């Protein structure tokens, strides 16, 4: 139990099959979590990240599996059309939990786009992809793995509680509102006594 941490995900990557970055997000805990090697990301600079991504893509592009151990990291991946999606965690991380994250990502994108998930669609809807990933993983902490909830949070515009166009802000409207408030208060006081 001493080595457990909320910071489960080290990176979420979406790469094209020809090696181009489409979406990459690397996470590192803000402070040491007690897990060896977790105080800072091993891929702190862009050169190390691109080297890691290139080797990872070479290792997985022709594979049909879902999980590998690469560079002392547990990597779960899914191939969709012309892109590869990756979730990277520490070597001691729970593979089932990380697998749920990659499935949530894949299924959320399918529900959001209602069509094939490919490079062009992801680039055209980059804002939705970024929102979906942020709903699933926040700063390396897994928040949600249910794709329907992720899609609801990403695709629904915030609703207003009050329709502002119907409010009369003239002097007469404010007086009417004050009279309504007085009458309601009088009613509540009569009922309470």
- Note the pLDDT tens digit of each residue in 12-43: 999 998 889 999 999 987 755 544 444 456 67
Reply yes or no on whether the pLDDT at 185 is more than 90: no
Q: Is the pLDDT of residue 3 over 70?
A: no
Q: What is the pTM of this model?
A: 0.74
At 116 the pLDDT is 82
pLDDT value of residue 43: 77
pLDDT in tens, 96-154: 999 999 999 999 999 998 878 899 999 999 999 999 999 999 988 999 999 999 999 88
CA of residue 118 relative to chain centroid, distance: 18
The confidence band for 159, taking pLDDT boundaries of 50, 70 and 90, is: low
**pLDDT confidence of residue 173:** 80
Q: What is the DSSP letter of 158?
A: P
Average pLDDT for residues 56-64, to the nearest whole number? Answer: 87
Closest CA to 85 of 38, 136, 39, 34: 136
Closest to 156 (Cα-Cα) out of 137, 136, 131, 139: 131
Separation CA 49–CA 142 (nearest Å): 21
CATH topology of domain 9-155: Beta-Lactamase (3.30.450)
pLDDT at 135: 94
- Give the per-residue pLDDT at 41: 63
Domain-wise residue ranges, the chain: 9-155
| pLDDT for the residue 2 | 46
CA distance linking residue 15 with residue 53, whole number of Å: 8
Whole-angstrom Cα distance, residue 152 to residue 128? Answer: 11
């Amino acid at each position: 139990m001493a080595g457990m941490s909320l910071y489960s995900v080290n990176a979420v990557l979406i790469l094209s099959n020809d090696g181009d970055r489409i979406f990459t997000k690397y996470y590192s805990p803000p402070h040491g979590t007690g897990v060896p090697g977790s105080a800072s990301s091993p891929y702190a600079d862009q050169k190390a990240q691109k080297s890691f991504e290139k080797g990872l893509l070479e290792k997985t592009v022709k594979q049909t599996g879902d999980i590998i151990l690469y560079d002392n990291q547990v990597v779960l991946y899914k191939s969709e059309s012309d892109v590869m999606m990756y979730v990277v965690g520490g070597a001691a991380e729970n593979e089932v939990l990380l697998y749920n994250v990659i499935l949530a990502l894949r299924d959320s994108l399918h529900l959001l786009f209602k069509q094939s998930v490919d490079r062009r669609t992801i680039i055209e809807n980059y804002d939705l992809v970024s929102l979906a990933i942020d709903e699933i993983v926040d700063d390396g902490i897994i928040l949600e793995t249910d794709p329907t909830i992720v899609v609801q949070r990403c695709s629904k515009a915030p609703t207003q509680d009050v329709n502002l166009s119907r409010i009369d802000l003239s002097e007469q409207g404010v007086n009417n509102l004050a009279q309504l408030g007085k009458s309601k208060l009088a009613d509540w006081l009569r009922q309470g006594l």
